[in-house]
């Protein structure tokens, strides 16, 4: 299989996914920064999402991991990167490894990831989507990462302020939860 290459601000960007123990994402990123030469990778991150949760009757905005247990890394020389990653103590594995070839994310996966994320405070973050609910309980996506993704939305849970979205991720269907903020209807 061929690798998928995309143009970005650093030239050709190849996105790969590392599977790590949930809760060790930051530690893996820190070890990559310390132990892997800058010439082997462009960026290393785990996406976070903003969601609203109710605490003692009040809605608060918090951050959660979008895909717990996964760290994304970009590289132009994945074989050399793989050799460097083997020395990281908390590293688990690069997903998509088939025999001697490591497969990058597909073009659709990368486009989707880049479309929903934005960089803020050195983190890759998926913000809240604003939705309105009409008197007839019709839900309209006004803005945010869910805009123009209506076909992927499987369920909107207004009570929990979450949209369940089905996406293709590493050759399988995955349901992720994205935060929503209601505007235009009493809470």
Residue 99 lies in a domain: yes
CA distances (Å), 116 to each of 35, 45, 141, in order? 30, 15, 14
Residue 141 lies in a domain: yes
Mean pLDDT of 22-43: 92
CATH number of the domain that 52 lies in?
A: 3.30.70.940
Q: What are phi and psi of 60, to 5 degrees?
A: -125, 145
Residue 130 lies in a domain: yes
User: What's the pLDDT band for 103 if we cut at 50, 70, 90?
Assistant: confident
Q: Who wins on pLDDT, 168 or 5?
A: 168
Mean pLDDT of 127-152: 87
Residue 1 lies in a domain: no
Residue 117 token pair: 């994320």
pLDDT value of residue 133: 86
What is the extent of the structural domain holding 128? 6-183
User: What's the pLDDT band for 10 if we cut at 50, 70, 90?
Assistant: very low
User: What's the pLDDT band for 120 if we cut at 50, 70, 90?
Assistant: low
Q: What are phi and psi of 160, to 5 degrees?
A: -95, -5
**Using one digit for the tens of pLDDT, what is the confidence trace for 58-92?**
999 999 999 999 999 999 888 899 889 888 888 77
pLDDT value of residue 185: 59
Q: Who wins on pLDDT, 119 or 142?
A: 142
Q: What is the DSSP letter of 50?
A: E
- The number of domains in the chain is 1
Statement: residue 44 has pLDDT above 60? yes
């Amino acid at each position: 299989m061929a690798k998928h290459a995309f143009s970005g601000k650093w030239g050709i960007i190849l996105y790969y996914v590392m599977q790590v123990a949930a809760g060790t994402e930051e530690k893996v990123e820190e070890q990559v920064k310390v132990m892997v030469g800058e010439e082997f990778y462009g960026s290393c991150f785990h996406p976070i999402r903003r969601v609203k949760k109710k605490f003692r009757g009040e809605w608060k905005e918090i951050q959660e991991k979008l895909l717990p247990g996964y760290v994304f890394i970009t590289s132009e020389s994945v074989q050399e990167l793989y050799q460097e990653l083997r020395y990281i103590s908390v590293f688990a594995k690069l997903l998509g490894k088939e025999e001697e070839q490591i497969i990058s994310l597909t073009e659709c996966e990368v486009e989707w990831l880049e479309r929903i994320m934005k960089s803020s405070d050195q983190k890759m973050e998926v913000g809240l989507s604003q939705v309105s609910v009409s008197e007839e309980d019709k839900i309209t996506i006004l803005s945010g990462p869910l805009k123009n993704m209506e076909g992927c939305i499987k369920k909107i849970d207004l009570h929990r302020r979450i949209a369940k979205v089905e996406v293709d991720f590493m050759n399988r269907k995955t349901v992720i939860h994205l935060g929503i903020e209601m505007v235009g209807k009493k809470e």
